[in-house]
């Protein structure tokens, strides 16, 4: 009778011809498994911001059944012509899971995403003949009377896909329950250990108190006076209060010391930040005069290589045969091309190399004291020392001169 009971229970779990079920209960068809959200329009999934009317419709399809399903969907709105937009597709959704489907480059608010077909995604469903053969194999061990009773009941199927999945779910649930029980046992053991330690501490405290009282009683008995015992008790309590107060004072001092250190560290970082900013703000750019009394002019070039780093260069300029210094834009251009540096600032001029060196060291020291990283030194010069021979068609720096032609007036009638 027990075997017959379990067989009838299997018949109840497999009454549906296709095996679809929701929360363990049979469903009429696969369409009941699907839940479709409203179609929402978001930014185009292709990232095309040039055409604001193009958006991407999204919708969420949820499988509420206990079996994996195959869902065919389509979008009934308008899409961008010749945009190769996919307006339909097929998704496979596991039990109690959801998937998002979407279309790229669709006309804004032009339509909705709809489900056109739903069917099982599994290929493990058997025909009635296979069911009959499996029924004969699984009922061979029963009596003829039980077989006739089951056959006459009219609808027996072998273990369904749902039953297998139910068993797998029960196995997972059992595994999870075992793990939960194990964790619960560990927590209970920890709790019991904490309670045991608490009881042990209480017992020790009581034992200490008891020993203390016994010691006081013995002391009182020896001295035969309650006054001395009370005085000793008062002194003991006073020492305890002082000890507790001293402990609190030391804890407060440590906390205040940590707060002072943190405050000093914040001030130090703020000082470094302000020093860097102040140094960068003090950088100024000087002009290079064409007329200069000396044959050689000394300058300093400062090149910013970042928000917290610079490079310094000692610049020497020589006069040309016209007794002029070179143009500033030509000097900066040559410097940039040679060293690949930008953000150039020029300081000067200085009348001697000693003054240039002193100011160079002052700038370097000021930069380092302002926590600015200073790169390797660069020595740069422009022009040639001494008077250079100048071609008729080029100037002192080898640039072509502009040729000017004088117009000669024709002689008139009176010469």
Q: Is residue 212 part of a domain?
A: no
Is the distance from CB of 295 to CB of 324 less than 8 angstroms? no
CA-CA distance, 68 to 82, in Å (whole number)?
35
pLDDT for the residue numbered 168? 85
Q: Which helix (H) or strand (E) holds 212?
A: helix 161-223
Short-list 286, 295, 285, CA closest to 383:
295
Is residue 72 within 8 Å of 115, Cβ to Cβ? yes
Residues of the chain with pLDDT under 50: 3-4, 6-9, 11-18, 48-50, 123-143, 145-159, 388-394, 396-398, 400-401, 415
How confident is the model at residue 52, as a pLDDT?
59
Q: Give the pair of three-digit tokens for residue 101.
A: 């489907």
Q: What is the DSSP letter of 408?
A: P
Contact 5, 16 (CB under 8 A): no
Q: How far apart are CA 347 and CA 283, in angstroms?
A: 9
| Phi–psi pair at 201, nearest 5 degrees | -65, -40
Q: What is the pLDDT of residue 29?
A: 79
Q: Which two tokens stand for residue 286?
A: 């000087």
Q: Is the peptide bond before 349 cis (omega within 30 degrees of 0)?
A: yes
Does a structural domain hold residue 247? no
Domain count along the chain: 2
Q: What is the pLDDT of residue 164?
A: 79
**The domain containing residue 29 runs over which residues?**
19-124
Measured between alpha carbons, how far is 149 from 246 in angstroms, rounded to an integer? 91
Q: How far apart are CA 398 and CA 341, in angstroms?
A: 24
Which residues are paired to 71 by β-bridges? 91, 118
Cα distances from 192 to residues 196, 205, 242, in angstroms, run: 6, 20, 36
Among 86, 105, 124, residue at a domain's last position:
124
Confirm whether 197 is domain-assigned. Answer: no
| CATH classification of the domain holding 91 | 2.60.40
Q: What integer pLDDT is reported at residue 195 of this predicted model?
A: 92
In a domain, 233, yes or no: no
What pLDDT shows up at residue 44? 65
Give whole-number Cα distances, 236 to 211, 233, 242, 386, in Å: 15, 5, 10, 97
End-to-end CA, the chain: 149
pLDDT value at residue 246: 92
The C-alpha atoms of residue 277 and residue 284 are separated, in whole angstroms, by 14
Residue ending a domain, among 103, 124, 145, is: 124
**pLDDT score at 126:** 36
* Cβ neighbours around 63 below 10 Å, total: 25
Domain for residue 73, yes or no? yes
Q: Which residues pair with 34 in a beta bridge?
A: 63
Instruction: List CB contacts of 158: < 8 A, sequence separation 6 or more.
Output: 10, 14, 126, 131, 134, 135, 138
Structure tokens at 176: 């999870």
What are the φ and ψ backbone dihedral angles of 21, each rounded to 5 degrees? -155, 155
pLDDT of residue 367: 87
* Structure confidence at residue 18 (pLDDT): 45
Provide the angle, in degrees to the nearest 10, between the axes of the packed helices 353-369 and 226-282.
Answer: 140
61 in a structural domain: yes
In a domain, 28, yes or no: yes
Torsion angles phi and psi, residue 145, rounded to 5: -65, -40
Evaluate whether residue 188 is within a structural domain: no
pLDDT score at 108 = 67
User: Looking at residue 190, what is its pLDDT?
Assistant: 92
Give yes or no for a contact between 113 and 59, defined as CB atoms under 8 angstroms apart: yes
């Amino acid at each position: 009778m027990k075997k017959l009971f379990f067989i009838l229970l299997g018949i109840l779990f497999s009454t549906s011809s296709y095996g679809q079920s929701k929360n363990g209960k049979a469903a009429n068809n696969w369409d009941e498994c699907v839940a479709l959200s409203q179609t929402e329009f978001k930014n185009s999934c292709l990232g095309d911001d040039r055409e604001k009317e193009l958006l991407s419709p999204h919708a969420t399809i949820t499988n509420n059944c206990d079996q994996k399903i195959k869902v065919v969907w389509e979008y009934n709105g308008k899409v961008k012509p010749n945009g190769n937009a996919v307006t339909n597709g097929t998704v496979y959704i596991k039990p109690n899971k959801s998937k998002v489907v979407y279309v790229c480059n669709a006309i804004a608010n032009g339509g909705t995403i709809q489900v056109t077909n739903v069917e099982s995604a599994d290929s493990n469903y058997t025909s009635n003949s296979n069911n009959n053969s499996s029924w004969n194999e699984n009922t061979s061990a029963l009596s003829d009377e039980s077989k006739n009773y089951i056959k006459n009941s009219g609808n027996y199927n072998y273990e369904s896909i749902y039953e297998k999945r139910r068993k797998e779910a029960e196995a997972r649930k059992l595994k999870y329950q075992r793990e939960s029980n194990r964790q619960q046992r560990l927590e209970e053991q920890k709790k019991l250990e904490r309670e045991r330690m608490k009881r042990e501490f209480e017992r020790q405290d009581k034992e200490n108190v008891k020993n203390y009282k016994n010691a006081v009683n013995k002391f009182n008995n020896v001295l035969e006076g309650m006054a001395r015992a009370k005085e000793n008790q008062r002194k003991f309590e006073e020492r305890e209060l002082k000890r507790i107060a001293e402990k609190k004072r030391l804890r407060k001092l440590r906390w205040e010391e940590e707060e002072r250190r943190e405050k000093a560290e914040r001030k130090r970082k703020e000082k470094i930040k302000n020093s860097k900013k102040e140094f960068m703000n003090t950088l100024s750019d000087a002009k290079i005069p064409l007329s200069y009394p000396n044959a050689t002019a000394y300058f300093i070039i400062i090149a910013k290589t970042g928000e917290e780093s610079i490079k310094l260069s000692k610049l020497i300029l020589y006069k040309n045969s016209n007794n002029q210094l070179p143009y500033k834009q030509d000097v900066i251009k040559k410097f940039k091309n040679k060293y690949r540096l930008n953000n150039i600032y020029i300081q000067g001029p200085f009348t001697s190399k000693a003054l240039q060196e002193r100011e160079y060291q002052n700038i370097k020291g000021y930069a380092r004291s302002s926590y600015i990283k200073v790169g390797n030194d660069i020595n740069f010069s422009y022009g040639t020392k001494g008077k250079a021979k100048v071609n008729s068609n080029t100037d002192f720096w080898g640039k072509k001169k502009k040729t000017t032609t004088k117009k000669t007036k024709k002689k008139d009638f009176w010469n």
